[in-house]
Structure 1
Protein backbone atom coordinates (compact mmCIF):
# COMPACT_ATOMS: atom_id res chain seq x y z
CA UNK A 1 0.00 0.00 0.00
CA UNK A 2 1.31 3.45 -0.92
CA UNK A 3 2.03 5.80 1.96
CA UNK A 4 -0.44 8.72 2.05
CA UNK A 5 1.02 11.98 0.75
CA UNK A 6 0.94 15.03 3.00
CA UNK A 7 -0.94 17.62 0.91
CA UNK A 8 1.21 20.40 2.34
CA UNK A 9 4.39 18.95 0.86
CA UNK A 10 3.43 20.23 -2.59
CA UNK A 11 3.86 23.78 -1.27
CA UNK A 12 7.58 23.14 -0.76
CA UNK A 13 8.36 23.26 -4.50
CA UNK A 14 9.13 27.00 -4.47
CA UNK A 15 11.37 27.05 -1.38
CA UNK A 16 13.16 23.91 -2.60
CA UNK A 17 13.82 25.45 -6.04
CA UNK A 18 15.24 28.57 -4.38
CA UNK A 19 17.37 26.58 -1.88
CA UNK A 20 15.39 27.98 1.07
CA UNK A 21 14.72 24.67 2.85
CA UNK A 22 16.80 23.27 5.70
CA UNK A 23 18.57 19.98 4.97
CA UNK A 24 15.99 17.71 6.60
CA UNK A 25 13.05 19.37 4.80
CA UNK A 26 14.97 19.26 1.51
CA UNK A 27 15.65 15.52 1.85
CA UNK A 28 11.99 14.85 2.61
CA UNK A 29 10.89 16.87 -0.40
CA UNK A 30 13.42 15.14 -2.68
CA UNK A 31 11.82 11.81 -1.79
CA UNK A 32 8.44 13.26 -2.71
CA UNK A 33 9.90 14.74 -5.91
CA UNK A 34 10.75 11.26 -7.19
CA UNK A 35 7.03 10.42 -7.20
CA UNK A 36 5.45 13.75 -8.18
CA UNK A 37 5.78 14.84 -11.81
CA UNK A 38 3.87 18.09 -11.19
CA UNK A 39 6.34 19.20 -8.52
CA UNK A 40 9.29 18.31 -10.76
CA UNK A 41 7.89 20.52 -13.52
CA UNK A 42 7.27 23.38 -11.07
CA UNK A 43 10.80 23.15 -9.64
CA UNK A 44 12.34 23.13 -13.14
CA UNK A 45 10.29 26.16 -14.24
CA UNK A 46 11.17 28.16 -11.14
CA UNK A 47 14.87 27.39 -11.47
CA UNK A 48 14.91 28.26 -15.18
CA UNK A 49 13.14 31.55 -14.54
CA UNK A 50 15.46 32.50 -11.68
CA UNK A 51 18.52 31.63 -13.78
CA UNK A 52 17.30 33.68 -16.75
CA UNK A 53 16.51 36.73 -14.64
CA UNK A 54 19.76 36.35 -12.72
CA UNK A 55 21.72 36.38 -16.00
CA UNK A 56 20.48 39.92 -16.61
CA UNK A 57 22.60 41.06 -13.67
CA UNK A 58 25.69 40.60 -15.86
CA UNK A 59 24.96 44.06 -17.30
CA UNK A 60 26.67 46.67 -15.11
CA UNK A 61 24.61 49.81 -14.35
CA UNK A 62 26.20 53.19 -13.56
CA UNK A 63 27.98 53.00 -10.14
CA UNK A 64 25.87 55.70 -8.44
CA UNK A 65 22.63 54.16 -9.70
CA UNK A 66 23.81 50.72 -8.63
CA UNK A 67 24.36 51.98 -5.06
CA UNK A 68 20.89 53.54 -5.00
CA UNK A 69 19.28 50.36 -6.32
CA UNK A 70 21.08 48.11 -3.85
CA UNK A 71 19.96 50.30 -0.96
CA UNK A 72 16.37 50.19 -2.22
CA UNK A 73 16.44 46.43 -2.67
CA UNK A 74 17.59 46.11 0.94
CA UNK A 75 14.41 47.93 1.98
CA UNK A 76 12.06 45.60 0.05
CA UNK A 77 9.73 43.64 2.29
CA UNK A 78 7.36 40.98 0.99
CA UNK A 79 3.63 41.24 1.52
CA UNK A 80 2.25 38.91 4.22
CA UNK A 81 1.34 35.56 2.63
CA UNK A 82 -2.38 34.95 2.24
CA UNK A 83 -2.22 31.19 1.86
CA UNK A 84 -4.73 29.73 4.30
CA UNK A 85 -3.59 26.10 4.24
CA UNK A 86 -0.21 24.73 5.23
CA UNK A 87 1.92 25.99 8.09
CA UNK A 88 5.07 25.03 6.17
CA UNK A 89 4.42 27.52 3.36
CA UNK A 90 3.58 30.26 5.85
CA UNK A 91 6.86 29.59 7.63
CA UNK A 92 9.10 29.72 4.56
CA UNK A 93 7.27 32.10 2.20
CA UNK A 94 8.66 35.40 3.62
CA UNK A 95 12.21 34.18 3.02
CA UNK A 96 11.32 32.94 -0.47
CA UNK A 97 9.49 36.12 -1.39
CA UNK A 98 12.35 38.33 -0.21
CA UNK A 99 14.90 36.41 -2.25
CA UNK A 100 12.70 36.19 -5.33
CA UNK A 101 11.73 39.86 -5.27
CA UNK A 102 15.37 40.92 -4.85
CA UNK A 103 16.43 38.74 -7.79
CA UNK A 104 13.62 40.03 -9.98
CA UNK A 105 14.24 43.67 -9.06
CA UNK A 106 17.95 43.29 -9.75
CA UNK A 107 17.19 41.81 -13.14
CA UNK A 108 14.66 44.52 -13.99
CA UNK A 109 16.84 47.46 -12.96
CA UNK A 110 19.82 46.51 -15.09
CA UNK A 111 17.85 46.01 -18.31
CA UNK A 112 18.57 48.80 -20.80
CA UNK A 113 19.63 51.44 -18.27
CA UNK A 114 21.12 54.55 -19.86
CA UNK A 115 22.72 57.49 -18.09
CA UNK A 116 20.34 60.02 -19.69
CA UNK A 117 17.18 58.30 -18.41
CA UNK A 118 18.42 56.55 -15.28
CA UNK A 119 15.88 58.32 -13.08
CA UNK A 120 12.95 57.21 -15.25
CA UNK A 121 14.25 53.64 -15.26
CA UNK A 122 14.61 53.64 -11.48
CA UNK A 123 11.09 54.99 -10.98
CA UNK A 124 9.73 52.35 -13.35
CA UNK A 125 11.67 49.59 -11.62
CA UNK A 126 10.21 50.68 -8.27
CA UNK A 127 6.70 50.42 -9.68
CA UNK A 128 7.28 46.97 -11.15
CA UNK A 129 9.07 45.75 -8.02
CA UNK A 130 5.99 46.68 -5.99
CA UNK A 131 3.83 44.72 -8.43
CA UNK A 132 6.19 41.75 -8.17
CA UNK A 133 5.84 41.84 -4.39
CA UNK A 134 2.11 41.48 -4.90
CA UNK A 135 2.59 38.61 -7.33
CA UNK A 136 4.89 36.54 -5.12
CA UNK A 137 2.47 37.04 -2.24
CA UNK A 138 -0.46 35.66 -4.24
CA UNK A 139 -1.52 32.07 -3.58
CA UNK A 140 -2.51 31.64 -7.25
CA UNK A 141 0.84 32.74 -8.71
CA UNK A 142 1.55 30.99 -12.03
CA UNK A 143 4.80 31.00 -14.02
CA UNK A 144 4.26 30.45 -17.76
CA UNK A 145 7.07 30.04 -20.29
CA UNK A 146 6.64 29.97 -24.09
CA UNK A 147 9.19 29.33 -26.82
CA UNK A 148 8.85 30.95 -30.26
CA UNK A 149 11.84 30.45 -32.53
CA UNK A 150 14.90 31.50 -30.55
CA UNK A 151 12.83 33.71 -28.25
CA UNK A 152 11.46 32.78 -24.85
CA UNK A 153 8.63 34.60 -23.11
CA UNK A 154 8.08 34.37 -19.35
CA UNK A 155 4.88 35.50 -17.64
CA UNK A 156 4.25 35.78 -13.90
CA UNK A 157 0.48 35.78 -13.45
CA UNK A 158 -2.02 36.04 -10.60
CA UNK A 159 -5.62 36.29 -11.74
CA UNK A 160 -6.75 37.17 -8.22
CA UNK A 161 -4.77 40.41 -8.63
CA UNK A 162 -5.68 40.92 -12.30
CA UNK A 163 -1.93 41.24 -12.84
CA UNK A 164 0.72 39.72 -15.10
CA UNK A 165 4.33 40.70 -15.78
CA UNK A 166 5.93 39.67 -19.10
CA UNK A 167 9.60 39.59 -20.05
CA UNK A 168 11.27 38.10 -23.12
CA UNK A 169 14.72 36.79 -23.89
CA UNK A 170 16.46 35.78 -27.12
CA UNK A 171 14.12 37.89 -29.26
CA UNK A 172 15.38 38.80 -32.73
CA UNK A 173 15.80 42.56 -33.23
CA UNK A 174 12.71 44.24 -34.64
CA UNK A 175 13.17 45.81 -38.09
CA UNK A 176 14.51 49.37 -38.18
CA UNK A 177 11.86 51.85 -37.12
CA UNK A 178 9.73 49.13 -35.49
CA UNK A 179 9.15 47.79 -31.99
CA UNK A 180 7.67 44.80 -30.22
CA UNK A 181 4.30 45.38 -28.56
CA UNK A 182 2.44 43.28 -25.97
CA UNK A 183 -1.30 42.65 -26.27
CA UNK A 184 -3.95 41.21 -23.97
CA UNK A 185 -6.07 38.94 -26.18
CA UNK A 186 -9.61 38.32 -24.91
CA UNK A 187 -11.78 35.33 -25.68
CA UNK A 188 -14.39 37.58 -27.33
CA UNK A 189 -11.82 38.66 -29.95
CA UNK A 190 -10.99 42.05 -28.47
CA UNK A 191 -7.32 42.99 -28.17
CA UNK A 192 -5.92 45.63 -25.81
CA UNK A 193 -2.36 46.97 -25.75
CA UNK A 194 -0.34 46.29 -22.60
CA UNK A 195 2.59 48.41 -23.74
CA UNK A 196 5.53 48.75 -26.08
CA UNK A 197 8.48 46.42 -25.46
CA UNK A 198 11.12 48.09 -27.63
CA UNK A 199 13.82 46.23 -29.55
CA UNK A 200 17.03 46.07 -27.49
CA UNK A 201 20.13 44.64 -29.21
CA UNK A 202 20.63 41.96 -26.54
CA UNK A 203 17.29 40.31 -27.29
CA UNK A 204 15.73 41.09 -23.89
CA UNK A 205 12.38 42.86 -23.92
CA UNK A 206 10.22 44.04 -21.05
CA UNK A 207 9.33 43.66 -18.30
CA UNK A 208 5.87 45.01 -19.01
CA UNK A 209 2.79 44.81 -16.79
CA UNK A 210 -0.51 43.58 -18.19
CA UNK A 211 -3.89 44.09 -16.53
CA UNK A 212 -7.49 43.70 -17.64
CA UNK A 213 -7.10 39.92 -17.69
CA UNK A 214 -10.74 39.01 -17.07
CA UNK A 215 -11.84 36.97 -20.07
CA UNK A 216 -8.31 36.99 -21.51
CA UNK A 217 -6.88 33.65 -22.55
CA UNK A 218 -3.64 34.78 -24.18
CA UNK A 219 -0.95 37.41 -24.40
CA UNK A 220 0.48 38.17 -27.83
CA UNK A 221 3.62 39.89 -29.15
CA UNK A 222 3.57 41.68 -32.51
CA UNK A 223 5.99 43.86 -34.46
CA UNK A 224 4.62 47.39 -34.79
CA UNK A 225 5.80 50.78 -36.11
CA UNK A 226 7.98 52.69 -33.65
CA UNK A 227 5.88 54.08 -30.81
CA UNK A 228 3.36 51.26 -31.06
CA UNK A 229 -0.13 50.91 -32.52
CA UNK A 230 -3.67 51.21 -31.21
CA UNK A 231 -4.46 47.76 -32.62
CA UNK A 232 -2.16 45.03 -33.98
CA UNK A 233 -1.06 45.53 -37.59
CA UNK A 234 0.80 42.21 -37.95
CA UNK A 235 0.34 38.60 -36.90
CA UNK A 236 1.79 37.68 -33.49
CA UNK A 237 5.37 36.45 -33.40
CA UNK A 238 4.69 34.91 -29.98
CA UNK A 239 1.50 33.85 -28.20
CA UNK A 240 1.44 32.94 -24.50
CA UNK A 241 -1.50 30.83 -23.33
CA UNK A 242 -2.69 31.97 -19.91
CA UNK A 243 -3.98 29.46 -17.36
CA UNK A 244 -7.51 29.98 -16.06
Structure 2
Protein backbone atom coordinates (compact mmCIF):
# COMPACT_ATOMS: atom_id res chain seq x y z
CA UNK A 1 0.00 0.00 0.00
CA UNK A 2 2.90 2.37 0.69
CA UNK A 3 3.79 2.35 -3.01
CA UNK A 4 0.44 3.91 -3.97
CA UNK A 5 1.08 7.36 -2.46
CA UNK A 6 2.10 9.01 -5.73
CA UNK A 7 -0.68 7.38 -7.75
CA UNK A 8 -3.27 8.47 -5.16
CA UNK A 9 -1.98 12.06 -5.18
CA UNK A 10 -2.35 12.12 -8.98
CA UNK A 11 -5.85 10.55 -8.96
CA UNK A 12 -4.48 7.54 -10.82
CA UNK A 13 -6.17 4.84 -8.70
CA UNK A 14 -9.41 3.11 -9.52
CA UNK A 15 -12.32 3.33 -7.10
CA UNK A 16 -11.48 0.13 -5.21
CA UNK A 17 -7.81 1.00 -4.82
CA UNK A 18 -8.67 4.53 -3.75
CA UNK A 19 -10.98 3.37 -0.95
CA UNK A 20 -8.45 0.81 0.28
CA UNK A 21 -5.67 3.38 0.27
CA UNK A 22 -7.79 5.97 2.09
CA UNK A 23 -8.43 3.42 4.84
CA UNK A 24 -4.69 2.83 4.95
CA UNK A 25 -4.06 6.57 5.29
CA UNK A 26 -6.02 6.66 8.54
CA UNK A 27 -3.27 4.61 10.21
CA UNK A 28 -0.18 5.68 8.25
CA UNK A 29 1.23 9.16 8.96
CA UNK A 30 4.16 8.53 6.61
CA UNK A 31 1.89 7.99 3.60
CA UNK A 32 -0.18 11.01 4.58
CA UNK A 33 2.95 13.16 4.40
CA UNK A 34 3.97 11.59 1.07
CA UNK A 35 0.54 12.25 -0.47
CA UNK A 36 0.70 15.90 0.58
CA UNK A 37 4.21 16.33 -0.83
CA UNK A 38 3.37 14.65 -4.15
CA UNK A 39 0.18 16.70 -4.51
CA UNK A 40 2.06 19.94 -3.81
CA UNK A 41 4.75 18.95 -6.30
CA UNK A 42 2.17 18.32 -9.02
CA UNK A 43 0.48 21.66 -8.33
CA UNK A 44 3.75 23.57 -8.38
CA UNK A 45 4.60 22.21 -11.83
CA UNK A 46 1.54 23.89 -13.28
CA UNK A 47 2.30 27.12 -11.45
CA UNK A 48 5.81 27.21 -12.94
CA UNK A 49 4.51 27.50 -16.51
CA UNK A 50 1.28 29.42 -15.92
CA UNK A 51 1.39 32.97 -17.30
CA UNK A 52 -1.20 35.67 -16.54
CA UNK A 53 -2.51 37.94 -19.28
CA UNK A 54 -0.16 40.90 -19.89
CA UNK A 55 -0.95 43.75 -17.56
CA UNK A 56 -0.67 46.32 -20.36
CA UNK A 57 -3.25 44.59 -22.58
CA UNK A 58 -6.06 47.09 -21.90
CA UNK A 59 -3.73 50.07 -22.40
CA UNK A 60 -2.57 48.69 -25.77
CA UNK A 61 -6.13 48.13 -26.94
CA UNK A 62 -7.28 51.61 -25.94
CA UNK A 63 -4.18 53.18 -27.51
CA UNK A 64 -4.97 51.42 -30.81
CA UNK A 65 -8.56 52.67 -30.64
CA UNK A 66 -7.34 56.25 -30.09
CA UNK A 67 -5.05 56.05 -33.12
CA UNK A 68 -7.59 54.46 -35.46
CA UNK A 69 -9.82 56.72 -37.55
CA UNK A 70 -13.41 55.72 -36.92
CA UNK A 71 -15.35 57.31 -39.86
CA UNK A 72 -14.39 59.41 -42.88
CA UNK A 73 -14.48 63.19 -42.49
CA UNK A 74 -17.87 64.66 -43.46
CA UNK A 75 -19.31 68.15 -43.62
CA UNK A 76 -20.73 69.33 -40.33
CA UNK A 77 -24.29 69.32 -41.72
CA UNK A 78 -24.09 65.60 -42.36
CA UNK A 79 -23.31 64.71 -38.73
CA UNK A 80 -26.68 63.56 -37.44
CA UNK A 81 -28.03 60.84 -35.21
CA UNK A 82 -27.49 57.99 -37.66
CA UNK A 83 -23.89 59.13 -38.34
CA UNK A 84 -23.11 59.13 -34.62
CA UNK A 85 -24.51 55.64 -34.42
CA UNK A 86 -22.27 54.60 -37.30
CA UNK A 87 -19.30 56.24 -35.58
CA UNK A 88 -19.98 54.43 -32.35
CA UNK A 89 -20.49 51.19 -34.22
CA UNK A 90 -17.18 51.72 -36.03
CA UNK A 91 -15.39 52.44 -32.77
CA UNK A 92 -16.84 49.34 -31.19
CA UNK A 93 -15.81 47.27 -34.23
CA UNK A 94 -12.23 48.53 -34.05
CA UNK A 95 -12.13 47.86 -30.34
CA UNK A 96 -13.43 44.34 -30.81
CA UNK A 97 -11.05 43.55 -33.67
CA UNK A 98 -8.04 44.95 -31.83
CA UNK A 99 -9.01 43.29 -28.57
CA UNK A 100 -9.73 40.07 -30.42
CA UNK A 101 -6.26 40.05 -31.95
CA UNK A 102 -4.62 40.82 -28.60
CA UNK A 103 -6.72 38.30 -26.72
CA UNK A 104 -6.04 35.77 -29.45
CA UNK A 105 -2.32 36.13 -28.72
CA UNK A 106 -2.97 35.76 -25.00
CA UNK A 107 -5.17 32.73 -25.61
CA UNK A 108 -2.45 31.14 -27.73
CA UNK A 109 0.12 31.80 -25.00
CA UNK A 110 -2.19 30.34 -22.38
CA UNK A 111 -2.82 27.33 -24.62
CA UNK A 112 0.91 26.79 -24.98
CA UNK A 113 1.37 27.12 -21.21
CA UNK A 114 -1.45 24.63 -20.62
CA UNK A 115 0.16 22.15 -23.01
CA UNK A 116 3.51 22.51 -21.25
CA UNK A 117 1.85 22.04 -17.87
CA UNK A 118 0.11 18.92 -19.15
CA UNK A 119 3.38 17.52 -20.51
CA UNK A 120 5.07 18.15 -17.17
CA UNK A 121 2.20 16.54 -15.26
CA UNK A 122 2.21 13.52 -17.60
CA UNK A 123 5.97 13.10 -17.25
CA UNK A 124 5.78 13.43 -13.50
CA UNK A 125 2.95 10.91 -13.27
CA UNK A 126 4.90 8.46 -15.44
CA UNK A 127 7.93 8.70 -13.14
CA UNK A 128 6.02 8.58 -9.84
CA UNK A 129 3.91 5.59 -10.86
CA UNK A 130 6.57 3.56 -12.71
CA UNK A 131 7.03 0.05 -11.23
CA UNK A 132 10.77 0.45 -11.84
CA UNK A 133 11.16 3.79 -10.10
CA UNK A 134 13.98 4.41 -7.64
CA UNK A 135 13.28 6.64 -4.67
CA UNK A 136 15.49 8.39 -2.14
CA UNK A 137 14.68 10.85 0.63
CA UNK A 138 17.03 12.75 2.92
CA UNK A 139 16.97 15.61 5.38
CA UNK A 140 18.30 18.89 4.01
CA UNK A 141 21.01 20.65 6.01
CA UNK A 142 19.37 23.67 7.59
CA UNK A 143 15.89 22.13 7.63
CA UNK A 144 13.34 20.39 5.46
CA UNK A 145 13.46 17.25 3.36
CA UNK A 146 14.20 16.44 -0.28
CA UNK A 147 12.85 13.48 -2.23
CA UNK A 148 14.11 12.11 -5.54
CA UNK A 149 12.19 9.69 -7.75
CA UNK A 150 13.87 8.37 -10.92
CA UNK A 151 12.46 6.20 -13.69
CA UNK A 152 12.76 5.76 -17.45
CA UNK A 153 15.52 8.36 -17.80
CA UNK A 154 13.58 11.11 -16.00
CA UNK A 155 13.58 12.37 -12.44
CA UNK A 156 11.34 14.30 -10.07
CA UNK A 157 12.95 16.26 -7.26
CA UNK A 158 10.64 17.65 -4.61
CA UNK A 159 11.43 19.61 -1.47
CA UNK A 160 9.34 20.34 1.59
CA UNK A 161 9.86 22.65 4.54
CA UNK A 162 13.09 24.22 3.26
CA UNK A 163 13.93 27.63 4.75
CA UNK A 164 14.23 30.63 2.46
CA UNK A 165 17.65 31.18 0.93
CA UNK A 166 19.64 34.27 1.96
CA UNK A 167 18.80 37.51 0.16
CA UNK A 168 20.10 37.48 -3.41
CA UNK A 169 20.50 33.71 -3.44
CA UNK A 170 18.48 30.63 -4.32
CA UNK A 171 18.62 26.85 -4.40
CA UNK A 172 20.32 25.31 -7.42
CA UNK A 173 20.00 21.67 -8.44
CA UNK A 174 22.93 19.61 -9.69
CA UNK A 175 23.20 16.32 -11.57
CA UNK A 176 26.29 14.42 -10.39
CA UNK A 177 27.66 11.86 -12.85
CA UNK A 178 29.40 8.64 -11.86
CA UNK A 179 32.81 10.27 -12.44
CA UNK A 180 31.95 13.09 -10.01
CA UNK A 181 31.39 15.79 -12.63
CA UNK A 182 28.47 18.10 -11.91
CA UNK A 183 26.01 19.72 -14.32
CA UNK A 184 23.42 22.32 -13.40
CA UNK A 185 19.84 21.14 -13.20
CA UNK A 186 18.49 24.69 -12.90
CA UNK A 187 17.14 26.69 -9.99
CA UNK A 188 14.56 25.11 -7.69
CA UNK A 189 11.61 27.46 -7.21
CA UNK A 190 10.06 27.35 -3.76
CA UNK A 191 6.75 28.57 -2.39
CA UNK A 192 6.55 28.63 1.40
CA UNK A 193 9.45 26.21 1.57
CA UNK A 194 8.00 23.67 -0.88
CA UNK A 195 8.84 23.10 -4.52
CA UNK A 196 9.52 20.53 -7.21
CA UNK A 197 11.29 20.07 -10.52
CA UNK A 198 11.05 17.61 -13.39
CA UNK A 199 14.26 16.67 -15.21
CA UNK A 200 14.68 14.64 -18.37
CA UNK A 201 17.64 12.70 -19.75
CA UNK A 202 18.80 11.55 -16.31
CA UNK A 203 20.69 8.23 -16.32
CA UNK A 204 20.14 5.82 -13.41
CA UNK A 205 23.77 6.04 -12.22
CA UNK A 206 23.64 9.75 -11.35
CA UNK A 207 22.72 11.48 -8.13
CA UNK A 208 21.09 14.84 -7.47
CA UNK A 209 22.32 17.55 -5.14
CA UNK A 210 21.12 20.93 -3.90
CA UNK A 211 23.29 23.95 -3.08
CA UNK A 212 22.75 27.63 -2.29
CA UNK A 213 23.95 29.84 -5.14
CA UNK A 214 23.60 33.48 -6.22
CA UNK A 215 20.35 34.31 -8.04
CA UNK A 216 20.56 33.14 -11.63
CA UNK A 217 22.74 30.16 -10.72
CA UNK A 218 26.41 29.26 -11.01
CA UNK A 219 28.40 27.31 -13.58
CA UNK A 220 29.77 25.12 -10.80
CA UNK A 221 28.76 24.81 -7.13
CA UNK A 222 30.18 27.49 -4.86
CA UNK A 223 28.91 25.90 -1.62
CA UNK A 224 28.81 22.43 -0.16
CA UNK A 225 25.68 20.42 -1.07
CA UNK A 226 22.89 20.72 1.47
CA UNK A 227 21.66 17.29 0.42
CA UNK A 228 22.69 14.60 -2.06
CA UNK A 229 20.24 12.00 -3.33
CA UNK A 230 21.03 8.83 -5.20
TM-score (norm 2): 0.57
In 1, distance between residues paired with 2:191 and 2:3? 32
Query: RMSD between aligned alpha carbons?
Result: 3.6
1:175 alignment partner, SS class:
coil
C-alpha deviation, 1:214, in angstroms: 4.3
C-alpha deviation, 1:222, in angstroms: 0.8
In 2, distance between residues paired with 1:201 and 1:26? 32
C-alpha deviation, 1:155, in angstroms: 1.6
Asked if 1:182 corresponds to 2:173, the answer is yes
After TM superposition, the structure 1 = structure 2 runs for residues 68-147 of structure 1, keeping only pairs within 5 Å, are 105-110=42-47, 115=52, 119=110, 122-147=114-139
Asked if 1:156 corresponds to 2:149, the answer is yes
C-alpha deviation, 1:53, in angstroms: 3.5
Asked whether the 8 Å contact 1:179–1:226 carries over to 2, the reply is: yes
Asked whether the 8 Å contact 2:44–2:195 carries over to 1, the reply is: no
In 2, distance between residues paired with 1:236 and 1:173? 16
C-alpha deviation, 1:46, in angstroms: 4.5
1:127 alignment partner, SS class:
helix
C-alpha deviation, 1:215, in angstroms: 3.0
* Structure 1 partner of 2:219: 230
Mark the runs of 5 or more structure 1 residues left unpaired by the alignment.
1-11, 31-39, 57-103
Asked if 1:207 corresponds to 2:197, the answer is yes
1:215 alignment partner, SS class:
coil
C-alpha deviation, 1:112, in angstroms: 9.2
C-alpha deviation, 1:125, in angstroms: 2.4
Aligned residues: 165
Asked whether the 8 Å contact 2:160–2:194 carries over to 1, the reply is: yes
Bigger Cα Rg:
2
